[in-house]
Amino acid sequence: MRHIVRALRLVTVVLWFAVLLMPATVALSLWQIFEARNNVALEKPNFSMSNGNFSISVPFFINNTGFYDISELFAKIHMYDKNEKIAEFTTEPLNIPAGRMVESSLNVSGNLADMISKDSELLTNSKNLDIGVALHFQVAYILAFNIARNFTYNWGAPFSNLTVDYKPINTTHISFLISFYNNASFPLSGPLKVELFNLQNVSIGPVAQMAQTLDVAPNECYQCSFTFEAAETGIIRLFFADILIIERRWGLHERS
């Protein structure tokens, strides 16, 4: 019995020592990494958009000069509009072994249609969005750190100031002048489809459909005219990568 008690006491002391030493060595390890300013660097984020899918990439490099591995390094981004969650993105977790230098990037990608389904105004209205960014990582697989910050992001609508001007050419042909300003921080590329419907909401047919591939740089205007063989009244719908952007009625008693 006495030996068991003595062994237990020894194990307890050793474990307490290890447990109390652990946070101190982790702090020292992190200090070694962040002490030298050139051990961690974040580069300018890149935004891109194609066929209704967007991606943000933040290249970075980290030189793990500490004693412990850094694991589960990932970023989480939440987007809110008036306390309503629009989107949530998480980057792939990365591992940075001790003594290694890693050059990589934190990538998030999403589908514009998913975001638009939560807030349909995002395509046409610029607004302030609440963004929550959190960086998470584990040191020595035992201590996890999370650094979070909330800020306001001025979302620029990719189809800002969107106008659809109807102009009858003759009794059988009509023309629409579509214009907008890409107020977003990313280039807009993907198919823009214009489709006409009659007042009974039935597609007028293949002659009433036109598509064009967009490639509009940030802070650039787009303007294009579409001519159709159609009646004097009806409904026009604009789609970008199969996402409905706008629906307007044209002709007599025009109404948005």
Residue 122: other Cβ atoms inside 10 A: 22
How many angstroms separate the Cα of 29 from the Cα of each of 33, 73, 102, 139, 254?
A: 7, 16, 17, 9, 68
Please give the structure tokens belonging to residue 12.
């307890």
Work out how close the CB of 134 gets to another protein at its nearest, in angstroms, rounded to a whole number.
Answer: 8
**Cβ 29 to another protein, closest distance in Å?**
14
Q: Is 15 in the site for another protein (CB under 8 A)?
A: yes
Judged by CB under 8 A, which stretch of 12-20, 50-58, 114-122, 203-211 contacts another protein?
Answer: 12-20
Instruction: Please give the Cα distance from 120 to 243 (Å, whole number).
Output: 10
- Per-residue contact flags (x/-) with another protein for residues 93 to 132, judged by CB under 8 A: ----------------------------------------
Tell me how far apart the alpha carbons of residues 94 and 72 are, in angstroms, rounded to a whole number. 5
Identified binder of another protein from the candidate list 146, 152, 171, 213, rule CB under 8 A: 146
Task: Please give the C-alpha separations between residue 49 and each of 81, 106, 194, in angstroms, as whole numbers.
Answer: 21, 16, 20
Selected from 36, 42, 101, 144, the binder of another protein by CB under 8 A is: 144
If one asks whether residue 169 binds another protein (CB under 8 A), the answer comes out as: no
**Where on the chain is the footprint of another protein (CB under 8 A)?**
1-2, 4-5, 8-9, 11-12, 15-16, 19, 22-23, 142-151
